[in-house]
Amino acid sequence: MEQFIQQFDCDVTKMHDVSHHMLQTMKSGLAGKGGSLMMIPSFTDTPSGNESGVFLAVDFGGTNLRCLLIKTELNTIRNKVQRSMVLDPKIPTGEILFSTIASFIVEFLEENKSFLEPRPEVLPVGFTFSFPIQQTSIASGKLIMWTKEFVASGVVGKDVVELLHAELAKRKYEWVKVVALCNDTVGTLCASTTEHPTAKIGVILGTGSNACYQERMEAITKINQEGASSSSSSSSEAASKKMIINMEWGGYDGFPSTPEDDEVNHMTRKQGQQRLEKMVSGRYLPMLVRVCMNKCIRCGWILNCFDQEKIGVWDKNEELSLIEIGKVEHDRSPNMDMARSFIIRFCEDKSLDKNAIPLHEVVLIRSLFHAIVVRSARYAAVAISTLIQHIVTTGEQLEELTVAIDGSVYHKHIGYKEELHASVDKCCKSLMMGPTPPEVHVVGTQDGSGLGAAIIAAVQVAH
């Protein structure tokens, strides 16, 4: 089993081939030549710092739907209220999905009438829609495909802003108007610039995984090919000659994979797609652990002390969560009682004696969990470092560069951010970053996707 665990080990300083391939795939995506990185123009840039007003942010991510009302003054958030709800990825139709979103917005605004007094003629909305969107302007975009196991029919190929506006109109809320559509990574980057002016990259490591960065307009050669001329975005990005690119890096397919990764891929709706996301994000890491545990049991490497029928299919009901994985990974008690209870909990027969499991097997299981999570952090670090390399070698000379990261895996999984930060440092030192590489800062940001959407809406209103 030790050899099985070792297949998840990776040395970030020896992944130059992956970095080179990713750089080439980025260039192809910017030119509209396809590949596993979509490189979607966002039609916005980071804020100037002069934005003020009252704005609504609607943040639709992989797990939660969140609404935030925000008052800003010179790009500083003076006041905010928020509320969230869980959205089921198995909502069957787009009509039900957008009806749910619109109803939640209306309820939220009704609860917070005092925040809007006097009620504005138009309430500008920043809409964070954290799925691949083909944007042709700042306030419109068609869903390319669902990710993170969402299934709602009737949405792919449709403008998601139009779908939301239609549902709001049914409720006599036409005055609530989306002026900016963005991805959660774009929101994270824009929100982080209020505290970190040197931020150039936004990353999400949560239910899903993605990144964005600030690109030179001249390098985005596919914009005109897609019918989105520079006149369609005559705001801050045109003046600064830069635009934020939503990479959709979850679809990148250049990292080494294992047979177990392939098995997870075949279990998902989008087979062959979102390969990086399926190796690093919170939606899929429990699936990978489940697949690995069942292989180890079938091969007789662990739990031989029990009748196989009593073990059954480990985690048959797919209840395993990343939080529980972390608890096992960091169980350092002498007898590892918590980890033992965890192992039995997901067996068919939950009355099995946990103390019958040899301690060395529990240690191996802990090592397996740790290896899978560490690989996630290291793969993300290689991708981040490759992006830094691109910015440094093709853009202006920078003394400092900040990477802003949000997401439950990054914030909540014990030890993840430390592993990621250390791996980014190692990887950057091993890559060619020019004669005077910038000082790189990796920082966490909370609620970035929602706050950033409101800030982007403020930018559009200001222009």
Q: Quote the DSSP letter at residue 427.
A: H
387, containing H or E segment: helix 359-394
Q: What percent of the chain has pLDDT over 70?
A: 94
148-156 mean pLDDT = 94
Return d(Cα 337, Cα 310) in angstroms, integer. 20
- For residue 261, how many C-alpha atoms fall within 13 Å in the half-sphere facing its CB? 21
Residue-level pLDDT at 231: 37
Nearest one of 225, 262, 220, 217 to 241, comparing CA atoms: 217
Helices (H), 71-209: 94-111, 160-170, 184-192
344-356 mean pLDDT = 96
Return d(Cα 334, Cα 357) in angstroms, integer. 14
Residue-level pLDDT at 437: 86
Return d(Cα 454, Cα 457) in angstroms, integer. 5
Residue-level pLDDT at 239: 39
136 token code pair: 């042709």
Residue-level pLDDT at 455: 85
Nearest one of 290, 276, 283, 255 to 409, comparing CA atoms: 283
Residue-wise pLDDT tens digits, 62-104: 778 999 998 877 656 667 899 999 999 999 999 999 999 999 9
Residue-level pLDDT at 49: 64
- Domain range list for the chain: 53-190+449-462
Q: Is residue 4 within 8 Å of 296, Cβ to Cβ?
A: yes
Residues 6+ apart with CB under 8 A from 188: 202, 203, 204, 212, 404, 405, 406, 445, 448, 449, 452
Residue-wise pLDDT tens digits, 319-341: 999 999 999 999 999 999 999 99
Nearest one of 369, 356, 263 to 310, comparing CA atoms: 356
Q: Is residue 81 within 8 Å of 69, Cβ to Cβ?
A: yes
Residues 6+ apart with CB under 8 A from 187: 57, 59, 126, 128, 202, 448, 449, 450, 451, 452, 453, 455, 456
In degrees rounded to 5, what are phi and psi of residue 337? Answer: -60, -40
Return d(Cα 278, Cα 203) in angstroms, integer. 16
198-213 mean pLDDT = 96
Quick one: CATH architecture of 53-190+449-462? 2-Layer Sandwich (3.30)
Q: What percent of the chain has pLDDT over 90?
A: 76
263-272, Cβ contacts within 8 angstroms, sequence gap of 24 or more: 263/291, 264/288, 264/291, 267/291, 268/149, 269/146, 269/149, 269/151, 270/145, 270/146, 270/147
Residue-wise pLDDT tens digits, 392-422: 988 778 999 999 999 999 999 999 999 999 9
Return d(Cα 161, Cα 14) in angstroms, integer. 44
411-439 mean pLDDT = 90
Q: Is residue 290 within 8 Å of 314, Cβ to Cβ?
A: yes
Q: Is residue 408 within 8 Å of 282, Cβ to Cβ?
A: yes
* pTM of the model as a whole: 0.89
Using alpha carbons only, give the angle 183, 18, 39 rounded to the nearest 5 degrees. Answer: 25
Q: Is residue 453 within 8 Å of 116, Cβ to Cβ?
A: no
Q: Quote the DSSP letter at residue 158.
A: S
Task: Please give the residue that has the higher pLDDT: either 69 or 238.
Answer: 69
pLDDT band at 449 (very low <50, low <70, confident <90, very high): confident
Q: Is residue 353 within 8 Å of 317, Cβ to Cβ?
A: no
Nearest one of 178, 177, 202 to 46, comparing CA atoms: 202
Find how far residue 67's CA is from the centre of its chain.
18
369 token code pair: 């969990």
13-36 mean pLDDT = 94
342-357 mean pLDDT = 96
